[in-house]
Amino acid sequence: MPEIPIEIIEEILDHLHNDKQMLKVCSLVSRGFYPRTRHHLFQSIRISQILGDSMYRLRVLAHTSPHIFMHFKSAEIYSSYDSSTLRQAQLPMLLMANLTSLNIKNTSTSLKCFRMIIFSLPLLKSLILESITFDVEEIVDPPSNSFLADKPSLEKLHIHHLHSGSSDFLPFALRYRSVFLESLQEFYINMYNPRRKDLSLCSDIIRAASQFCTLKSLYVLGTSNCVLTQWFNVKPLMLPLRLQSLFFDIKYRALEGGTDVSAMQWFLNAFIQGHSPQLRHLENLHIDMTLKNFDDFVDEDEIWILFANLGLILSHIDTFRCLQLTYICDYQISEEIRRDMLSLTLENFPSLCEKDVVKIALHGTSVT
């Protein structure tokens, strides 16, 4: 075939980056197409114990064609909580020296195996853990200096469905903060029935990350699933110095003998205690509040006082652009209730309303 400039070939093939089948066909047309098609074909990989013999074929490929693994930039590992999944994937993972993004899902593993894989990926920037269970009471020996020589430095860390079986990751991350926290820009944690210990560890993680002044986006979800009695002696939350966006959710529950506003106090106390200079970079605050009974919520003076204090603090932050407050109701929302909720909420943020930076959304099972 006539000589075609390599730049044109690469641009054409770049348009096919999501069409795996066509890329395979193109790779057979000419040797000139092969480098670019290989680049796109091996950008991402899914490793699973569920899909038949895929793990076996992957391990064979690691022995026969190890050079292919250098092309992978993104990987996802998932299983049905099979403790052998990460162990069997260890050899292929160790070959992915250029990997930048890793998602591990529905997997059980040891901290030792997990550390071996993560620390062997020097370019890793994004780590997502979804429903991971770690071996309990495992002692991880400290690594040598040579082991940490080419360590990764994460910029994005997401922990989904943190539970009692996975909470051992938090002290592990604190121990190796140069890997997990030193360059962290985005931290997401969603807790499932957290204990007081988990909440305090979450606070420790955020506090440690704050020391490096790199954290810009923070998502803290699921704290309201903690029972009321657990909130006593929870370590206070300290917001990062350069935080730009904060997302958290609250589940309002009117309980006999007291109202559960502890989670809200935990968050809002961080604003009050951290006011100036910590909050001078804040731009966005998103609050999702789940309600079961709007009548009780309206009469909860403590909540509205907290809201009013929050509005006052936010109004003094020059960079602040948006307060997004979403009410999530598991009952029908009439137009009358809708008007009352909007009116009462706006009354507590007068300064922000003047700046037109307040957005309120109401979501119910149905609207009458």
Based on the fold, state whether residues 250 and 332 are members of the same structural domain: yes
Residue 157 and residue 229 in one domain: yes
141 shares a domain with 50: yes
73-77, 151-155, 187-191, 257-261, range with the lowest pLDDT: 257-261
Domain that holds residue 21: 1-41
- Specify burial of residue 98 (Cβ count, 10 A radius: 0-12, 13-18, 19+): middle
> Is 368 a member of any domain?
no
Q: Are residues 247 and 221 in the same domain?
A: yes
Shared-domain flag, residues 202 and 131: yes
224 within a domain of the structure (yes/no)? yes
CATH number at residue 313: 3.80.10
Tell me: do 35 and 91 sit in the same domain: no
pLDDT digits (tens, 9 = 90+) for 290-331: 887 777 777 778 888 888 888 988 988 889 999 999 988 876
pTM: 0.85
Cα–Cα separations (whole angstroms), residue 66 to 58, 62, 92, 101: 10, 5, 8, 19
The three-class DSSP label of residue 112 is helix
Q: 75 and 136, same structural domain?
A: yes
Total count of domains within the chain:
2
Same domain, 37 and 116: no
* Rounded alpha-carbon distances, angstroms, from residue 174 to 195, 202, 209, 356: 18, 10, 9, 40
- Of these ranges, 66-70, 134-138, 204-208, 223-227, the one predicted with the greatest mean pLDDT is 204-208
Q: Within this chain, do residues 36 and 157 fall inside the same structural domain, yes or no?
A: no
Please, which pLDDT band fits residue 278 given cuts at 50, 70 and 90?
low
Residue-level pLDDT at 100: 95
- 2 and 61 inside one domain: no
